[in-house]
Structure 1
Amino acid sequence: MGLVHPYPALPNLETLALRNLFCLEEICHGPIPIHSFTKLKSVEVKGCHKLTNLLWYSLVRDLPQLLEIKISDCRMIKEVIVFQISEVDIEIKKIMFPKLRSLELEHLPSLISFCSIPLTADTQCIPVALIDQKVEMPHLELLKLCNIKSRKLWDDNLPGHSFIQNLTSLTIDKCVSIVYTFSSSVARDLLNLKHLGISNCQWLEEIFLSDGKLGTVSNSVVFPNLETLEISHMEHLKSLWHNELAPNSFCKLKKLKIRSCNKLSNVFPSYVLDKLQNLEKLTVTDCPVLEVEFETQSLQVEGGRQTRLEMQLGTLILENLPKLKHIWSGNPNESFKFQNLCILKVMHCESLNHVFPLSLAKELQHLQAIYIRVCGVESIVARDEMVDTSPKPILIFPELKSLRFRNLTQLQNFYPGLHTLDFPVLRDVDVFHCDKLVLFEPMSLNYQDNVTVDIIPLLSIEKVVSNTSKLILNCKDVTVLCNGQLNDEPIYTVKDLSLRCFHDVSGKFLSGFLQRFINLENLEVTCSSFTEVLLSESFGIGHSETTIKLRRLELRLLPNLKFICREGQLVLQNMEYLYVYVCSTLKNIFPSSVVFENLQKLKVSNCAGLENILKSSTATSLPKLRKLCIYGCEKIEEIVASDDENDASELAFMKLETQLLRKLPRLRSFCKGRHDFKFPLLNRLWVVDCPMMETFSNGVLNVPRLRRVHVHQQDWNEWHWNGDINTTIRKYVSKNGNV
């Protein structure tokens, strides 16, 4: 547009989106008629690599309805607003976006300033900060700055009406050149900010300017309405907080998430904890030098009286903190109450010796779940050396339902001394590879009189068995159960049973053991040396054929397993789900005589010894099979093996809907025999990384609903079809195919 036109341009346009216009150099060329674009509400520009600016200053005056600006992935943009030569003599007092609600600037490596304002009529345009104090966006609510190289994001002394007074969400990511985020003036004016996220700013040393630079925040309330704070991937950040905060600063903060801050040594210094009473969820991960989460010391109010503040913290998640020594340092209960803690997860904290101080543990009346994994913890609750613990401490957790300890090689006890411990509503107990911990002890033994303090058991197995529907046992636990008061009594409450770490066993379950679980529906066997699992002796001696109620069986990491069950011993008529993972010596899944008439889902993974999944004679006993998944079994050449190579009978899988065959390097076909197959409901077939597969089957295939074969599991939308299954597999799956 080289001439000034008398009519406005695009006066009714509301949305302008320019994407991947790689040769676009200007949005508008030449003077623009007044009142152009007056109804424009949204501008989005992405991937326009020759564009150097977005708007002329003269056009900004005619954008009273503009609500959002989003610019991303434009390599050459230097300014968002630029002045024409004819405008450089104009004295600019302010640049106004009266209704702008959202501004997002992402991946703009050449961006210098939002607007390069001429300081005088005869000077060049000099950018002072990314957003200058003359830029006013009084209704801006969302600001996102990502991958911007400016050393300064905004002026340190912004007027309150500039752009921050109504800001509710601020995200700063990959702004690698900034060394601080907020001056005291800016921090004071962010009164309505609710979400703040700062990440990947590798040279950022402090969030607030230190004392002596443009004032302090010690007497000013900062972030009084902030609810969510996320700080991540900060190489040089040493502290989150200013060392003096006025009352009511951060007073509404509910969620704090910290990740990958490599120089952060503590999260909550003592001077900040009293400002964070409303914090509900804290997540801290991947901070390699962090030693303390909560630094606690006595708080004094006016008049010198000591007070205790009630913290609202309900969820605490700590992960991969190798130097963490204390979650709470000192005696937190002198100044704080953490009785609202409901969920605690601590993982990969190798230097942590204990979880709770004794004084704090006594008040955890609402704790519902505790999960500790791969830590150096020796005791869950530490002995308080400064307090006389006689009589013995009483630890009651009235709401604790789930207790999970995994791979705690140093864990010896819950508390290192005589104590009373009770979990009245505990339902889920999962203790795995905690070899020094004595988990169960029968009530029939008075442990206070018969064992040393160091091996006081954690739980009474009778109480757990009577209260829980899910039970996880190792070899020692089974011995306790079989030798206790419940030796011959049936167990009615347990429906889910997991057996783990049976390493020093003869290879078989204890005679009659599973028979005691009258209502057992789900059985998991993991990390054990069993050679056989489902034996008739395990469910009752003297039965030539035993019917059991199991609905779900899961077998994992059983390197010596040779048989799931033997021929002619069991009727698994209720079995609906069978999962077999990493059982390297297993030779077959289904004995031909065992009935699986209700099996719906079968998954077999990484079983190196299998050459097939089932015999043709067994296929008729799977009338309800809906899903079949076979993965990573390196010797399998066929899924169904024919009992008789001359048998050409039809095998029908009447309910099978989904079949997944993946990473089977020797698989040649579903069946190498002459059988016909009928799959009336099959509509999903994945054949992935099976380079030797040349055909699905040699017989007649009746698959009326299947019209696609997926060859990549990650992409559900990619599929192939070339008239029938066999032709499709030859072309798209076989290594000898055309594609």
Structure 2
Amino acid sequence: MICDSLQRAQVTGSYWSFCQYPTKIMISECDALSSLIPWYAAGQMKRLQELDIRSCSRMREVFENELMNCHNTNNVDEGSGAGTSLTSLPLTYSTTEVAPQLSNLKTVVIYECDLLQHIFTFNTLKTLSHLKQLKVKRCETIQVIVKEENKTSSSSSSEEVVVFPNLETLELDCLPNLKGFFLGMNDFRCPSLVTLMINDCPKWVVFTSGQLETPKLKYVHTSFGKHSLERGFNFQTTFPTSSKGMPSSFHNLIEINIENKEDVGRTIIPSNELQQVVKLQQITIKSCYGVKGVFEVVAVEGSGSRESKTLVPIPNLTQVKLDNVGNLKYLWKSNQWMVLEFPNLTIVHIHHCYKLEHVFTCSMVGSLVQLQELHISQCMITEVILKEEEEEEECDAKVNEIILPRLNSLKLEDLNSLKGFCLGKEAFSLPALDTLQIKDCPDITVFTKGHLSTPQLKVIDTDFGMCDPRKDVNSFIETKLEEVCINIITYSSFF
């Protein structure tokens, strides 16, 4: 009878007696394997540089580290194709474990191997001196990347420091049972690590129970965005809703990057986390249909007064880009007790948000002193860009003139319901505006009902081409509406 290990070698057509030769191994959709590298070949992998395993549903371990029990081991056929008999193995082979020799291994990719519970054993780490990339994705049962050795083994002593001198990229993605990279007490050093992704790992606890040194690593990427390392690696790796016992992910959030996600909440940043997003710099959301708002501001009666509102600054946010967020109704809402401020917001681009009603409100526009680009397109029900407060007479932000001192590019395109930039009577001053585009906005009647100053604006890009704004934008819009009406009447007279 042949050992299971040798049988698996025959099934895949792999002659592991020649395993010292390949530099690259790629295996995909092979359900016959319960382990990839058999125990008798583990010590001969010195030339292997790239290992890629995908969709092997029965694989339980990558490197077989225990000699499997089998009957009649002395009857292994030396001509069976495996080319090895148990009696002919070198004396240096252990009957319990063979540490793989992986000194040239540079890239490891493991994808959709649902029975794997770990990738390496601790004893294997010593040979991974050239490993540059490690990517593990969509493995249902994996709990750790590196498995601890037996507690009695001296090889996994907590005093031993593990060094990955060349590891640059580590990606752990969609691993629902992953608790950590290594749960032992050993210290880890990754002096070359610059890219770390820990994405959709809801049971994540810690990278390692020991110390971790990553001098070149600046951020951690998760399903929600990019995080700073101010408080280490112990935070949520899924969308930061509520998670008992796990610190909030908002306190070290640098960037929000969400794309093609159906499980995002109705609001990206809940009201109870507004004070935590002090580091947030960028928001990018694409194709997330469940999102109805970006910043949630819940009215809590008694938390403030109309004479003294609570001002909540989002101090470092510079860029907001939203594309194809079909159910988005608002970006940010203020109320009579609380106002959001965006003192460093520079760029706002919004496209294909069909249910968006408006962009800014009266109370927050005074904080937009750094806004430079405002581009809005294909938002079908947007009637105004700047909305007046619902109780205009009690609006704290109501002033005689609204100034956007740095706004230089304003593009409004394919807004079927747009009636104007603002329908209030406040005067507007846009001293830096030199690019104005208004296209496919059939319902627009006025830019603003108040006085408008645009001293740097020379031309307007419209459906009619590049046009001279003449006295001001409002008079230009009125003139064009008159021309359109005359053309319609003239055209109708022919029929």
TM-score of the aligned structures, taking structure 1 as reference length? 0.43
> How many percent identity over aligned positions?
18
Q: Judging changes above 3 Å, is the alpha-carbon distance between structure 1 residues 76 and 336 closer, same or farther for their aligned structure 2 residues?
A: closer
Specify the SS of the correspondent of 1:272. Answer: helix
Q: Which residue of 1 aligns with 2:230?
A: 224
CA distance in 1, matches of 2:203, 2:26: 29
Alignment match of 2:433 (pick from 421, 426, 436): 426
* Alignment check: 8 A CA contact 1:230 1:258 kept: no
* Alignment check: 8 A CA contact 1:324 1:351 kept: yes
Q: Which residue of 1 aligns with 2:347?
A: 343
Q: Judging changes above 3 Å, is the alpha-carbon distance between structure 1 residues 85 and 410 closer, same or farther for their aligned structure 2 residues?
A: same
Partner amino acid, structure 2, of 1:82: E
1:370-413, CA deviations, whole angstroms, 9 ceiling, x for partnerless residues?
01112222222222245345964431111111101112222223
Specify the SS of the correspondent of 2:253. Answer: coil
Partner amino acid, structure 1, of 2:385: I
Alignment match of 1:410 (pick from 401, 417, 428): 417
Q: Is 1:45–2:49 an aligned residue pair?
A: no
Partner amino acid, structure 1, of 2:382: V
Q: Judging changes above 3 Å, is the alpha-carbon distance between structure 1 residues 366 and 151 closer, same or farther for their aligned structure 2 residues?
A: closer
Q: Judging changes above 3 Å, is the alpha-carbon distance between structure 1 residues 482 and 131 closer, same or farther for their aligned structure 2 residues?
A: closer
1:649-685, CA deviations, whole angstroms, 9 ceiling, x for partnerless residues?
xxxxxxxxxxxxxxxxxxxxxxxxxxxxxxxxxxxxx
Partner amino acid, structure 2, of 1:471: I
Q: Which residue of 2 aligns with 1:71?
A: 52
Specify the SS of the correspondent of 2:62. Answer: strand
Q: Is 1:280–2:281 an aligned residue pair?
A: yes
CA distance in 2, matches of 1:183, 1:457: 55
* Alignment check: 8 A CA contact 2:251 2:276 kept: yes
* Alignment check: 8 A CA contact 1:475 1:500 kept: no
Q: Judging changes above 3 Å, is the alpha-carbon distance between structure 1 residues 502 and 307 closer, same or farther for their aligned structure 2 residues?
A: closer
Output aligned runs, 1:197-276, within 5 Å.
197-198=222-223, 224=230, 239-240=240-241, 242=243, 246=247, 251-264=251-264, 265-276=266-277
* Alignment check: 8 A CA contact 1:225 1:253 kept: no
Q: Which residue of 2 aligns with 1:361?
A: 365
Kindly state the Cα deviation for residue 152 of structure 1 after the two structures are TM-superposed.
2.8
CA distance in 2, matches of 1:239, 1:403: 34
Output aligned runs, 1:538-549, within 5 Å.
none
Kindly state the Cα deviation for residue 196 of structure 1 after the two structures are TM-superposed.
2.1
Specify the SS of the correspondent of 1:274. Answer: helix
Q: Which residue of 2 aligns with 1:383?
A: 388
Kindly state the Cα deviation for residue 106 of structure 1 after the two structures are TM-superposed.
4.2
CA distance in 1, matches of 2:288, 2:475: 47
Specify the SS of the correspondent of 1:29. Answer: helix
- Alignment coverage as a number of residue pairs: 400
Q: Judging changes above 3 Å, is the alpha-carbon distance between structure 1 residues 468 and 418 closer, same or farther for their aligned structure 2 residues?
A: closer
Specify the SS of the correspondent of 2:260. Answer: strand
Uncovered stretches (5+) of structure 2, i.e. residues with no partner: 1-9, 69-92, 122-140, 150-155, 157-161, 304-308
1:450-482, CA deviations, whole angstroms, 9 ceiling, x for partnerless residues?
xxxxx617856xx46xx3455324569979859
CA distance in 1, matches of 2:15, 2:44: 16
Partner amino acid, structure 2, of 1:456: K
CA distance in 1, matches of 2:223, 2:212: 15
1:489-515, CA deviations, whole angstroms, 9 ceiling, x for partnerless residues?
xxxxxxxxxx999866769xxxxxxxx
Alignment match of 2:195 (pick from 169, 173, 179): 169
1:546-566, CA deviations, whole angstroms, 9 ceiling, x for partnerless residues?
xxxxxxxxxxxxxxxxxxxxx
Q: Judging changes above 3 Å, is the alpha-carbon distance between structure 1 residues 310 and 257 closer, same or farther for their aligned structure 2 residues?
A: closer
Specify the SS of the correspondent of 2:364. Answer: helix
Kindly state the Cα deviation for residue 314 of structure 1 after the two structures are TM-superposed.
0.8
Q: Judging changes above 3 Å, is the alpha-carbon distance between structure 1 residues 222 and 253 closer, same or farther for their aligned structure 2 residues?
A: closer
Specify the SS of the correspondent of 1:143. Answer: strand
Q: Which residue of 2 aligns with 1:182?
A: 203
CA-based RMSD of the aligned residues comes to: 5.4
* Alignment check: 8 A CA contact 1:104 1:145 kept: no
* Alignment check: 8 A CA contact 2:250 2:273 kept: no
Q: Judging changes above 3 Å, is the alpha-carbon distance between structure 1 residues 485 and 130 closer, same or farther for their aligned structure 2 residues?
A: closer
1:299-331, CA deviations, whole angstroms, 9 ceiling, x for partnerless residues?
99xxxx977545211110112223222211235
Kindly state the Cα deviation for residue 270 of structure 1 after the two structures are TM-superposed.
2.4
Partner amino acid, structure 2, of 1:131: I
Structure 1 window deviating more from structure 2 (97-106 vs 355-364): it is 97-106
Which one has a bigger Cα radius of gyration?
Answer: 1
Specify the SS of the correspondent of 2:273. Answer: helix
CA distance in 2, matches of 1:394, 1:190: 54
Specify the SS of the correspondent of 1:359. Answer: coil
CA distance in 2, matches of 1:335, 1:61: 65
Q: Judging changes above 3 Å, is the alpha-carbon distance between structure 1 residues 157 and 486 closer, same or farther for their aligned structure 2 residues?
A: closer
Kindly state the Cα deviation for residue 485 of structure 1 after the two structures are TM-superposed.
13
Output aligned runs, 1:270-669, within 5 Å.
270-296=271-297, 308-331=312-335, 334=338, 337-375=341-379, 376-385=381-390, 387-388=394-395, 392-439=399-446, 456=449, 459=452, 463=454, 467-468=456-457, 470-474=459-463, 481=470
CA distance in 2, matches of 1:102, 1:458: 65
Partner amino acid, structure 2, of 1:28: W
CA distance in 1, matches of 2:275, 2:104: 37
Kindly state the Cα deviation for residue 333 of structure 1 after the two structures are TM-superposed.
9.8
Q: Is 1:133–2:147 an aligned residue pair?
A: yes
TM-score of the aligned structures, taking structure 2 as reference length? 0.61
1:257-315, CA deviations, whole angstroms, 9 ceiling, x for partnerless residues?
11222242111112333333222211112222212201246999xxxx97754521111
CA distance in 1, matches of 2:328, 2:347: 19
Q: Which residue of 1 aligns with 2:17?
A: 29
* Alignment check: 8 A CA contact 2:177 2:203 kept: no
* Alignment check: 8 A CA contact 1:191 1:223 kept: no
1:357-376, CA deviations, whole angstroms, 9 ceiling, x for partnerless residues?
22221111110110111222
